[in-house]
Amino acid sequence: MSGSRATDHPLKTQIKPSRLRLKNQLLLALVPTATVLLTLGLVEKLGRQHLLCAALASSAFLIYLDPEHETNTVRTLVLSQTAAAIVGTAVWSILGSGYLSAGISMSVVILLMILFNIVHPPAVTTSLAFSLRPDNNSSLALFGLAIAITASLVLLQLAVRWLVSHHVKRHI
């Protein structure tokens, strides 16, 4: 063993937002806020389907709180949100909109997230958004693009946390 700990990795900052000064907390919050606004703007321009971004806004906030947590990895985010959109759409196309569709899609998504170790709680909201929609105005491709933008948030947030942690360490 080389003697270095896992916490010595440059991206494993171990600095929680609540332990930072207000200025640094706001810097960390800037990236998810900008990402959500960019995603909303894109959705507005391409399809006016704002409800589809509700779960991604929750994802952005979770990533802000702890981008290194297993729940917030790019893999988990992309797979869980994609599965939720597909399941919600499939159940809606078979049963239509309603509580039965919502219950089935939510239950299936939770089961899939547990079975494939891709638990990301905002994906449950995604399954509901797709299964409860009142009409056929939904685009899996548009949602996929929104997921890609949100997934990039994970990488951006890790980079910002790394920069903030180095700034904080120099000024301690």
| Residues 170 and 17: beta-carbon distance below 8 Å | no
> Residue 135 half-sphere exposure, CB side, CA atoms within 13 Å?
2
Question: 7-54, pLDDT tens digit by residue?
Answer: 444 344 444 555 667 777 777 677 777 777 776 777 666 565 666 667
pLDDT band at 155 (very low <50, low <70, confident <90, very high): confident
| Residues 42 and 157: beta-carbon distance below 8 Å | no
Domain boundaries, the chain: 20-170
**Closest listed residue to residue 126, CA positions, set 91, 95, 94, 160:** 91
Element (H, E) at 143: helix 140-170
| Residues 118 and 75: beta-carbon distance below 8 Å | yes
**Mean pLDDT computed over 149-160:** 73
In this model, does residue 103 exceed pLDDT 80?
Answer: yes
Q: How far apart are CA 146 and CA 64, in angstroms?
A: 17
Q: How far apart are CA 48 and CA 172, in angstroms?
A: 47
| Residues 31 and 153: beta-carbon distance below 8 Å | yes
Question: 43-88, pLDDT tens digit by residue?
Answer: 666 565 666 667 777 887 787 777 778 998 889 988 999 999 999 9
| Residues 67 and 60: beta-carbon distance below 8 Å | no
DSSP 2: -
Q: At 122, phi and psi to the nearest 5?
A: -60, -20
Provide the pLDDT for residue 10.
39
In this model, does residue 1 exceed pLDDT 50?
Answer: no
Provide the pLDDT for residue 47.
60
**Mean pLDDT computed over 98-103:** 94
pTM over 0.85: no
Q: How far apart are CA 135 and CA 44, in angstroms?
A: 17
Token match 């332990």: residue? 19
Comparison of pLDDT for 1 and 154, the residue scoring more: 154
**Taking all residues of the chain, what is their mean pLDDT, rounded to a whole number?**
77
3-state SS assignment for residue 97: coil
Structure tokens at 120: 């990301």
Structure tokens at 58: 């929750």
Provide the pLDDT for residue 8.
43
